[in-house]
């Protein structure tokens, strides 16, 4: 039986979208939910008060980075990440598998685990399934992830099969390493973009008593259509009475498509990462506030938004801060973006419960497929070639 007491409240007609709730060690969560990424026990530049005001209810933290700095000993002293960062809501920790995948030239993977050099002090580490779970237990997250081997979407069938089978063996070892910890644990379905492997992976992992399942191995080089198709396929293979988590995805449109296909949980760095570049997500499209067209604009980022940034600051000021590379601009746009994402999740949930999600899906899908229609960018005209004076000979 799942430690999370997952309960479906509604499923919208004409779609696989569903609204549910589950209970963690640090409170109840309603789905669909978006989790801001707090890689280093912080969401870049934002206090926990800002996160709560934006609507954040559950955060993601990074096992790979936190084991290197500040280290397991710090979390053991503080009794876990919640007291350490002053966050009293639920936390999900990834296992470190994706970070190992992103270090192709400085790591070695074998049956035991992944060996790599620390970017902090150059020391050699072995991240095994047992070590990953030991670190996550010390961090004290509400949901732990099994260690998996992530590979690029372009991998061959043989490579994807080998990585999937290793992931299954590591999943069994991760589950055993949890012992009697009250923390929940999710397994990760792999198999790249191969339908037969996805089915094998789902069948193998769902035979084990995990508390939920993640869809891994997407957003690593596949096309958008492939991502949507394999999210739908994998979600359809997972138990209906447990949460489904699509890892590392994505844009508002990505989330909308995945909810339509039966996914419950999401995380992505985009809302805060793109705020550093002056990008704002709005109900009217995605705005790039560095563009000169906003230099004199007195409007809020999004007139339909009630966040503190939109209530107090103009596009012109945010344009100035962004062009000047001021930290305040990054923070203010980041606050707005997270507010937008959480509002999106609340809207999706309310439409699922009301039975109107399918109409909402079609309407928003069209809107979010567009760019900045208020101030469309114009292609740069080609430079005229200078006439070359030729001297007759």
Residues labelled as active-site residues: 94, 267
Give burial (CB, 10 Å; 0-12/13-18/19+) of 212: buried
d(CA 300, CA 183): 42
d(CA 322, CA 315): 10
d(CA 254, CA 361): 12
Query: Between the CA of residue 224 and those of 131, 251, 266, 286, what are the distances in Å?
Result: 34, 11, 16, 18
Which 8-state DSSP code applies to residue 294? G
Q: What are phi and psi of 198, to 5 degrees?
A: -60, -40
d(CA 201, CA 160): 11
Going by C-beta distance under 8 Å and a sequence separation of 6 or more, which residues neighbour residue 375? 291, 293, 294
The bridge status of strand 279-282 relative to strand 285-288 is antiparallel
Give burial (CB, 10 Å; 0-12/13-18/19+) of 16: middle
**Torsion region of 85: left, alpha or beta (phi above 0 gives left; psi -120 to 50 gives alpha):** alpha
What do you get for the CA distance between the two ends of the chain, in Å?
92
CA atoms within 13 A on the CB side of 357: 29
């Amino acid at each position: 039986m799942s430690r999370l007491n997952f309960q479906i409240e509604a499923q919208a007609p004409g779609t696989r979208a569903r609204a549910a709730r589950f209970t963690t060690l640090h409170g109840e969560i309603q789905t669909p939910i978006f989790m801001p990424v707090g890689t280093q026990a912080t969401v870049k530049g934002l206090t926990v008060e800002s996160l709560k005001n934006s609507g954040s209810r559950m955060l993601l933290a990074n096992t790979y980075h936190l084991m290197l700095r500040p280290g397991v000993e710090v979390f053991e002293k503080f009794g876990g990440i919640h007291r350490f960062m002053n966050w009293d809501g639920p936390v999900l920790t990834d296992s470190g598998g994706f970070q190992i995948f992103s270090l192709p030239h400085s790591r070695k993977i074998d049956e035991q685990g992944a060996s790599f050099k620390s970017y902090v002090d150059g020391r050699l580490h072995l991240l095994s399934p047992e070590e990953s779970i030991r670190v996550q237990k010390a961090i004290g997250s509400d949901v732990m992830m099994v260690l998996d081997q992530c590979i690029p979407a372009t991998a061959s069938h043989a490579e994807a099969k080998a990585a999937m089978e290793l992931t299954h063996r590591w999943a069994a070892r991760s589950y055993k390493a949890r012992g009697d910890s009250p923390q929940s644990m999710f397994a990760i379905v792999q198999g790249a973009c191969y339908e037969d492997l996805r089915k094998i992976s789902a069948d193998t992992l769902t035979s084990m008593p995990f508390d939920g399942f993640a869809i891994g191995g997407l957003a690593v080089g596949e096309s958008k259509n492939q991502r949507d198709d394999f999210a739908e396929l994998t979600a359809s293979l997972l138990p209906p009475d447990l949460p489904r988590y699509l890892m590392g995805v994505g844009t508002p449109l990505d989330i909308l498509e995945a909810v339509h296909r039966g996914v419950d949980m999401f995380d992505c760095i985009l809302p805060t990462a793109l705020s550093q570049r002056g990008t704002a997500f709005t109900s009217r499209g995605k705005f790039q506030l560095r563009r000169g067209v906003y230099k004199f604009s007195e409007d809020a980022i999004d007139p339909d938004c009630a966040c503190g940034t939109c209530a107090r600051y103009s596009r012109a000021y945010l344009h100035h801060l962004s062009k000047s590379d001021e930290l305040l601009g990054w923070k203010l746009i980041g606050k707005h973006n997270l507010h937008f994402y959480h509002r999106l999740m609340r809207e999706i949930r309310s439409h699922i419960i009301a039975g109107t999600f399918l109409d909402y899906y079609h309407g928003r899908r069209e809107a979010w497929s567009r760019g900045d229609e208020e101030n469309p960018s114009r292609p740069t005209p080609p430079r005229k070639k200078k006439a070359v004076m030729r001297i007759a000979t």
